[in-house]
Amino acid sequence: MLIRPADDADDAAIWRVLEPTVRAGETLMLPPQMDQAAAISYWRQPNHHAFVLEESSDVLGTYYLRANQQGHGSHVANCGYATAAWAAGRGIARAMCLYSLEQARALGFAAMQFNCVVASNERAVGLWRSCGFEVVGRVPDTFRHPELGYVDTLVMYRRL
């Protein structure tokens, strides 16, 4: 597995990873009907550092790393991750998270915060916990899950 910065040539591969997750609408705060151009504009926006995880030149995961806030909140990092559906269960998300924590530390961030982890996404919640994150907030009914209806979102945090 290799993790490297994304560039324009990766847009189609990033979209192949993102599209099923965006369409499912169960975990990301993005419109399920969003097209490639809109998704890439979001994922690779100017203040996001975007990365891809590849194996044998196949992109199996992608994430962005950014400052969660401007100004006097800029010492806290934030990331968003997506794993290819066809590579689930192989530790891709964990590898990306652990690597991004190292990157954030190297960039001088003091902590990492996830603003809205969908509480019904138990796999992600468990993974982030195992990567050292704690739940520091729970916001009621802030996500409309297509099958479960309104579910809570979690604020998760760890120091670096």
Residues forming contacts to a copy of itself in the complex (CB under 8 A) are 25, 28-32, 34, 68-76, 110-111, 113, 115-116, 136-146, 153, 155, 157, 159
* Closer residue to a copy of itself (CB): 3 or 125: 125
Token pair of 23, please?
Answer: 């369409």
CB of 118 to a copy of itself, least distance (A): 8
Please say which residue, 90 or 158, places its beta carbon nearer to a copy of itself. 158
* Residue 22 Cβ vs a copy of itself, minimum distance, rounded to whole Å: 8
Residue 57: CB minimum distance to a copy of itself, A: 31
